[in-house]
Every structure is written in structure tokens, then in C-alpha cells.
Structure 1
Amino acid sequence: MRAVLVTGGAGFIGSHFVKRLLRSDDVAAVTVLDALTYAGHIENLGEAFLDAKLDFVEGSILDARLVGDLVRRHSEIVHFAAESHVDRSFYESGNFLTTNVLGTRTLLDAAFRMGVRKFVHVSTDEVYGPLLTGAADESAPLRPSVPYAASKAASDLVALSYFQTYGLPVCVTRSSNNYGPCQHPEKIVPLFVTRLLKGEPVTLHGRGQHVRNWLHVEDNCAGIELVLSSGVPGEVYNIGGGTDLTNKELTQLILRACDADWDVVTYVPDRQANDLRYALDCSKITSALGYRPTRALADGIEATVAWYRANPGRWAPLLRNPNAPMAQVRVPGPAGV
């Protein structure tokens, strides 16, 4: 039977993954380690606390003693914990580097000492940087444009170096943009949905032509679970949703699901370092592990809007008290996406 440590398991993607693990018959214990910062909320785990297999520990991945004590009791680690919002990284780059790079190194050190059987490091397609044409496969160079992406690229390389140097069985996943229930309303989908549900306008950067691939959080978790069980140590696996949209096209889907029209949309000047296009080649995980995304984007957006409509008590308090240093920084011009 397996015992799995999940860092950042009270965050958006991590909490969905924890619930998925708890449904696995061969998993005997799941421990969540989460610092409960602005994007990590114990409420995200909700009904998971009814499962006797779940243990929750509030703490930081930078706490070497705590990490060592926890890793000792687990055979596998799935590492979600990270500072993850691009705009915040413009003002808090030191926090991003400390958490994402040094925190990952703290976990890797403990995993090596304790002989962990598998370590999955969860990353992002943003490490590849912008692509005007084509799609990045796992061998593409890393060309991050912003501090967030640079910190994730650095942590990817540190994780892979532990396989090359010490033989630690590390895999890295790089996913495209996730969406779904429980996402913090600073990201584009929940930001637009919550504003529209409140009757407020939304803003697009530039002319809304930035291209992203959209992946339902449950599809990403399915891919991560495949990598945890069957991924080859030392390998990287891209995980995408198969749907590339401009932000304007995405906005159209959200407007339709929220019964809103284009008169609530305004355009603002593009932000600095806003990569025009990301694109992933996900053929490796498909051919090697049999991964297939199962959720159509339009259906997923409608279901996501329905969740936010039905659960204002989960997101409305975050809009009143974001508990975020960036909210205290005055940035010229209106916020947009």
C-alpha cells in the first residue's frame, strides 16, 4: 500500500489531486503539507476530511526539519506547492525564487535521504516561453519571460538534476492553463466569472489575441496520476487540454455561460512581458502513458460557472480580503488580463 505526501494540497490543483488519490484503493495514506497562503484554503479539501486516510499539516516546504519528518513516513511525493501567479511575481520575485527553487530543493534533499520511491514535480508550460509558431515538446529549450516562469524553470532543472546526480526517481509534469471549481479568483477564468456574476465589467489586455491552451483541472490530475504510477524517472511529460484559444475566444465562452454580452468587456493596454502564445506538444504522454483529456472546454466552462454561481460563500470573501501584498501596490492603469 502506498503513502503519498502532497505539497500544496490545499491549493486549486493540489486539492483536486488529493481527492483523486483518496479514491484509489491502493493508497493507504495521504498527507497534505500546505502553508495556507492566500491561494491555499483548507476549505478546498472539504469532504476529503471525512476520509480517515487524510492527514493535514500546516507548514512550509522551506522548513527542513518538518519536511524531513514528513517525508520519512511516505513512499511517494507529489509537489504542487509554489508561488504561481504571474502578476505577483513582478513585485515579489524574491518570494517566488525562495519558495519555488529553495523549497523544491528542501523536498528533494529529504526525498533522497529517505529513499522515496517516486517524486513528481508539477510545473507549467510557461517555462518554454512564447512560441509564435509550432508547439514545444519536452526537449524544447526553456526560455521563461517572467520571474514566475523563471523560478519554475529553475526548480524543474534542480529536480531533474537530482535524478542525474543521485538517481532520485523524479518526473516533471508541465501543464497548460488549468481551470475548474475552487480556483482562486485572481486567474482569468474565475476572475471573469466572479466579476460577471457580480454584474461588474471585465478587461482584456491588448486586443485579447494572446493564445493559451486550456485544461480542466481534473484532466491535469489524471495526467499527473499516470505519471506518478507509470512515468519513467528522469522524464518530463507535457499535459495539455487540446484546446488553444485566444483570450478573446475564451471570453466569449465565459460570457455565454454567464448570460452576459460584450458590452461588459473593455480593452486596456497590454502588460509588460505578456507572452503572446504558448503551445504544447503532448504526444509523449499520450503515446507512452495513454493519457487523453476527457472534458470539452465549452462544457467545462459551463460547469465551472455553475460551481461559482452555486458557491459564492467560497469566493466572495476572497474578493473582500485577498490577503495579498500585491493588492497593496498601486499599479498605474486598470487591471486586465
Structure 2
Amino acid sequence: MELAGKKVLVTGGEGFIGSHLVEDLVRNGAEVTALVQYNSFNNWGWIDAFDKDIKSQLKVVTGDIREYDCINKFIKGQQVVFHLAALIAIPYSYLSPMAYVRTNVEGTTNVLEACKENGIEKIVHTSTSETYGTALYVPINERHPLQGQSPYAASKIGADKMVESYYKSFNLPVATIRPFNTYGPRQSARAVIPTIISQILSGKKTLKLGKISPTRDFNYVKDTVAGFVEIAKSENTIGEVINVGSNREISIGDLVGKIIGLTACSVKVICDEERLRPEKSEVNRLWADNQKMMQLTNWCPQYSLDQGLRETIDWMQNNLSVYKSDQYNI
């Protein structure tokens, strides 16, 4: 399936990954509608920062995936749906687990039902590597057991299983993309890479972090967006869950050292107790097996970690005012 000329809806289009995806789809000729969460300020998130030429080719609608009538209205008349809208902050899920059930499980079910009722040609649903929990073996392939080590992870497992049920029960043409740790421009400071970079660029001499021994598989946002597009285009991905990752791991401690080297700054790392997850909730190791993705699609990661970090650092240097490096935001 070619996406040029297709009517495409992106839920969560105002967010970090969603905004990059919206831009890419517009540049490649899709007729894009971005669904952003309704708010009284009429704030469109990162879409507000788009170039005028991109914004002029884009339709923006506001609503809430937790309301079926709302999502059904906006899905009607579309051909392809990318579903990214979700609550994603792990620490906040400890405080308000039901909010994650309502948005991630019930909201996703609303999207699926509306896609079924409106005959959508292809749906790409967004999962997360957090559904795997701490690796029982590496690299992690799609057959790895799912482990709900946080309310966030459990809610995403629930959403993924609703997707599976709609494929098997109703033959819905849906594919699940399971990105590992995406990073890049526009990411919020709740994530570890912008947390590190924003503190360093703000001139902090001590770097406040949680546990630094866990490993992660970091994937640059442009590679993740390319994964969304290739999964949507491929007929081989329907009914599948597919990892998108770099197939490499690095500890948070080693990541800090790499960023310190790229910024040529000197800082001391200290453990901030507030940033630690509950002991049994910490995911200690993530490392993606991306072979299935490369077999089913034309995708292959293009960015090394150093390349992606340099682009991220350059962008954050010019947008540092967006970040509140003195505050920890769960």
C-alpha cells in the first residue's frame, strides 16, 4: 500500500513521535488529519511549531479517544489510521492507574471499534517495549513473554490484546508496532535522554538520575517514524506484532558518559531517590531483536546512537527554554 493520496488519521498527532510522523506523512503526499487531545487553550502541541507549508496541508481536529462518538466521527471517511494517543509516563501510572486503563485500554478499544465500523484499510497500533518487562533472554523477539511491571505496561498489554482480539475476531487489518526506547527532538524531559541533556546544557554540575545500571535499546525518532510508515505500507504486517529497535543495548551509565563526551561538559552523577522505580517494577534490561521487522518490510535503522544524540543535542541547545531542568516531572 502506498500512502501518498491516502486519507490518513493520526491519533496523538501533537506528541513527540506523532508530530514527527505527521510531518513525514504530509511531506510524502498523504492527506493527513491529526487528532490532538481537546483542551481549552486550543493548544496543538508540537504541531504549533510546524513550518507554515506543512501546517497548511494538514487538518487538525481536537477530541478524546476515551469518547467513542468523538473518535468514530473523525475515523469516518479515513482509509488508514495510525493510533499513537496514549498515556505514557511510567511514574504517573503509579499514582493514577485507572487513568491508564481508561485511555490506553478503553481508548484503544474505541479506536478499534470505530475502525471496524468504518471499514478502515489499515490500522497501525502503537505498543511499547515496556510490555516485555526485564528481559528473560536477549535479544528480545516478539515471542518473549509479556510482563506488567508497571500499571503503564499492564495497560499497554491490555491494549495490545484488544488489538489481537479484533484481528482474530473481526479480521480487522491491524498491525502492532512495538518501538523500543525512541529519542530525539521534541521528547519531553520525563524520558532519560532529554533529562540528561537538559540538565547538562543548563549548566548543572550535578546530574540527578535514577538507577543507571539498566540497559536500553535506543532508537532515533526518524528511524521509528520510518518503521511506522513501512509497517503501514506492507501487506505482510497485518495481524503481526513487530519490534522496532536498533538491535543494540547500552546502560544508562554508559549513555551518560557518551553524552558528556558529545557535550564536552563535566558533571557528577548523583542518585535522586524520587526518580527510582519500585524495586520489582524496574525494567533492568531491554535489547530488541529487529529481524522480523527487516524481514516483513523494507525498513532498516539508518542512525547510529552518536548521530541521533548529536541531532538531539543540537535541537535542545536551540530549544532549551522548553525544559524545566530544575524540576522533576513524573
Relative to the length of structure 2, the TM-score reads 0.90
Q: Secondary structure at the match of 1:106?
A: helix
1:301 maps to what in 2?
A: 309
Partners in 1 of 2:208 and 2:93 — Cα distance?
20
Q: Does 1:183 align with 2:191?
A: no
Structure 1 residue corresponding to 2:298, chosen from 283, 290, 314: 290
Match of 1:331 in 2: none
Number of equivalenced pairs: 316
Residue 277 of structure 1 aligns with an amino acid whose one-letter code is: R
Secondary structure of the structure 2 residue equivalent to 1:99:
helix
- Which secondary structure state, in structure 2, belongs to the residue aligned with residue 209 of structure 1? coil
Match of 1:332 in 2: none
Cα distance change, pair 187–4 in 1 and its aligned pair in 2 (3 A): same
Residue deviations 1:193-220 (CA, integer Å, cap 9, x gap): 11111122223334x2101000001100
Is 2:47 the partner of 1:47? no
For 1:7-86, list aligned pairs within 5 A.
Answer: 7-25=11-29, 27=30, 29-35=31-37, 42-45=44-47, 46-47=49-50, 49-51=52-54, 52-86=56-90
Provide the C-alpha distance between the structure 2 equivalents of 1:205 and 1:50, rounded to a whole number of angstroms.
Answer: 41
Query: Partners in 1 of 2:187 and 2:38 — Cα distance?
Result: 14
Name the aligned partner's letter for residue 33 of structure 2: T
Q: Does 1:312 align with 2:323?
A: no
Alignment deviations for residues 135-167 of structure 1 (CA, whole Å, 9 cap, x no partner): 221122211211111111110110111010011
Task: Name the structure 1 match of 2:229.
Answer: 225
Q: Does 1:267 align with 2:275?
A: no
Letter paired with 1:296: S
Of the structure 1 ranges 219-228 and 189-198, higher mean CA displacement relative to structure 2 is found in: 189-198
CA distance in 2, matches of 1:49, 1:288: 36
Query: Which segments of structure 1 move beyond 4 Å, counting only runs of 4 or more?
Result: 318-322
- Which runs of no fewer than 5 residues in structure 1 stay unpaired? 327-337
**Distance 1:146-1:41 versus aligned 2 partners, 3 A rule:** farther
Structure 2: gaps of 5 or more residues: none
Structure-2 change in CA distance of 1:41 and 1:237 (3 Å): farther
8 Å Cα contact 2:218/2:249 also seen in 1: yes
Matched, 1:137 2:145: no
Quote the offset at 1:111 in angstroms.
Answer: 0.4
Q: Is the 8 A contact 1:204 1:248 kept in 2?
A: no
Q: Report if aligned partners of 2:223, 2:301 keep a CA contact under 8 Å in 1.
A: yes
Does the CA-based 8 Å contact 1:171-1:227 persist in structure 2? Answer: yes
Give me the identity figure in percent.
Answer: 29
Deviation at 1:268, TM superposition (A): 4.4
Give secondary structure in 2 for the equivalent of 1:242.
coil
Amino acid at match of 2:50: E
Contact 1:11-1:41 at 8 Å conserved across structures? no
